[in-house]
Structure 1
Amino acid sequence: MRHSRLALALGASGLVLASGLAHAQEWQPDRPINLIVPWGAGGSTDQITRVTAPILAEALGVEVVVVNQPGASGAIGTQEVLNAPRDGYTWTANAIANNATYSVSGLLEDTDIDDWHIYLSVANVPVVSVPADSEFEDFGQLLEALRDRGASISIATAGITSSGGTAIATISDAGGFDYNMITYDGGGPAAIATASGEAMVTTQLAVEQTELIRGGRLKALAVLSDQELVLEGVDPIPPITNWLPEIDTAPDYFGIFLPRGVPDEVVATLDRIWEEEVMTSDAIREYAETYGAVFDPSFGEEARSRAMPVVIMEACSSVERGEAVNDPSTIGIDCETMTETRAQ
């Protein structure tokens, strides 16, 4: 059963996979690779993917074509990859928590984190920002307004399962308020819409807002973290725990994913390239330092382990909010146990 496979993935399955890949031949693709970004251009996934794709293309000797295919909070493009032949020529990019929890949200059925070979590059954090001319000068003022009139305050995100969507839901849970979410095809468009006054707040990722914050079009009020966020050229962004000390936070990891079932030599080759080229990449490190991400590449079982805290948090939070279509237990996550652990 699927949940049994997930529960065992940190153990024996990783050893079997590693043993099989050790004997795989080097893959030499003979045509371009299609890399589907299931979000609009300019968002967090699109940004880091367009930094990473040229590194992979040079190492493989073929073009890696980035294709934006947004819709349904990333589910449409992700389904396209799952439907494609498992020949190694169709990949996807996303926040791994999305791929892991699409089944819980009901956007995709019968899929979980172990349907993917995972290659992570950076971790991102959401930032609560408002237009430069907003009435709100700090997060405390915004929090008070949300508690008084939350349903009339519009929040721009890339959708319910996007980083911004889960961020505002987490803040709402901790802060005890309602809100009015407006969705866009990506985090970049959501941030731009907020800067232009279409929405009153955005909770998208720092990397999607940095230039707007530096340019004085957005005013950053808080970062969804227990540490301040330092961006070159602007004042440090205070942690949201200054106002909501009990809020759950976890790094949101982004990367590139290959569907299970691709040939072993494809996985072995990408493992090598990730270790030798991506994990030492100055370009990705510079991107992270410039836009407020964390350079933290990994792959395989290590990547899965790093991803699971945010996967668990998002899956179980959706149950607490009444948004889950399928119980997380169907993908091997016991939210009752997680809740008890957090309470101790």
Structure 2
Amino acid sequence: MINKRAFLHSAAGFGMTFVAGLAAPARAEQAYPSHPVRWIVPYAAGGATDVLSRLVCQRLSERLGQPFIVENKPGAGSNIGTQAVIASPPDGYTLLLTSTANAINASFDPTLPFDFAKGIAPVAGVARIPLVLVINNDLPVHTIAEFITYAKANPGKMSIASSGIGTSLHLSGELFKAMAGVQFVHVPYRGSAPGLTDVMSGQIQGMFDNVTSSFEFVRTGKLRALGVTTKERSDTMPDVPPIGDTLHGYETSSFYGVGAPHGMPQEIVDLLNKEINAALADPNIKQRLGDLGAIPIAGNAREFTAMLTTETERWRKVVEMSGQKKE
């Protein structure tokens, strides 16, 4: 009898352990995130990318109970940070701030050591930021039509700055050249700030730039804004018309979103997508985005995947039209 009781007790204990073991994976899945998450920004610290990332990461940290840590990993037009994320385990603990650069580089840079579309799982959109054509105040033009007429009358005599070769700022200018049938000299800088400085001083005549960094200079009269690159006017610069109103069919912008290494579990994708969308709907965050001139990109992961596909094809056509490619 004693042996029988001991056996039953032992068997019951084993059964409980076995059931607990079966339940353990479910508890582990529910525990995400169980330690800090790295949010890779493939650009230097500062600027809109950092502000956007820190706004969303703060919200995710509060909602999910673990720190979402912004880590800047700049270089090679965002490719260093992107490759680092693609090479990371698809466990949800390394995320990428995706951007227009990823869509551009797919066709602009034939030397890429990775396939972005296959290496990154799209998670969620974050925001879209219009660009604006700003010029030096001494340039005798006040509209896009006058700018085109002036450029045609002075072929190759104007210089247009950008934040670097192959950026959305550079290629927006190249698309403008091709569609308007004008010529100007492209002058690449290491970031938009030094380019804007030279436009204000008159060394450079104009620049396509994010409304985020140009707004204050336009507001204070240090630069003149001729047109925004989106179909609609920007709430940040409501008096500035779309370039497409004059140059029909012209449209570009900068966009940002979140990606993860390919193969990340769908339940983690869905959780992050839900929380990022909740962050974008928060009135305080919406206000901060508005201050940056940014337009939130809401939607599920499938919709963001479709958007990335559309943007990649859009920029492929721009690269093709402009004849610009990394050598």
Give the aligned partner of residue 319 of structure 1: 320
Residues 292-314 of structure 1: CA deviation (Å, up to 9, x unaligned): 22223223111122344332211
- Cα 1:167/1:278, change in 2 over 3 Å: same
Give the aligned partner of residue 291 of structure 1: 292
Q: How does 1:1-344 map to 2 (within 5 A)?
A: 25-95=29-99, 97-106=100-109, 108-114=112-118, 115-187=120-192, 190-195=195-200, 197=202, 199-231=204-236, 236-245=239-248, 247-249=249-251, 252-275=254-277, 277-324=278-325
Distance 1:69 1:190 in 2: 23
Amino acid at match of 1:267: V
Task: Name the % identity.
Answer: 24
Say which SS state the counterpart of residue 137 (structure 1) adopts.
coil
Q: Is the 8 A contact 2:91 2:264 kept in 1?
A: yes
Report the CA distance between 1:168 and its aligned residue: 0.8
Residues 182-216 of structure 1: CA deviation (Å, up to 9, x unaligned): 33344455445544555321212212322222233
Report the CA distance between 1:221 and its aligned residue: 0.9
- Cα 1:299/1:140, change in 2 over 3 Å: same
Report the CA distance between 1:72 and its aligned residue: 2.5
TM-score normalised to structure 1 length: 0.75
Give unmatched runs, 5+ long, in structure 2: 1-26
Report the CA distance between 1:318 and its aligned residue: 1.0
Amino acid at match of 1:94: T
Moved more, 67-76 or 185-194: 185-194
Distance 2:193 2:117 in 1: 25
Moved more, 124-133 or 191-200: 191-200
Q: Is the 8 A contact 1:82 1:259 kept in 2?
A: yes
Moved more, 122-131 or 263-272: 263-272
Moved more, 121-130 or 106-115: 106-115
Distance 1:192 1:81 in 2: 34
Report the CA distance between 1:24 and its aligned residue: 9.6
Distance 1:177 1:27 in 2: 58
Distance 1:195 1:41 in 2: 24
Aligned alpha-carbon RMSD (Å): 3.0
- Cα 1:268/1:158, change in 2 over 3 Å: same
- Cα 1:166/1:270, change in 2 over 3 Å: same
Give the aligned partner of residue 10 of structure 1: none
Q: Is the 8 A contact 2:244 2:250 kept in 1?
A: no
Report the CA distance between 1:126 and its aligned residue: 1.1
Say which SS state the counterpart of residue 199 (structure 1) adopts.
coil
- Cα 1:41/1:325, change in 2 over 3 Å: closer
Give unmatched runs, 5+ long, in structure 1: 1-22, 327-344
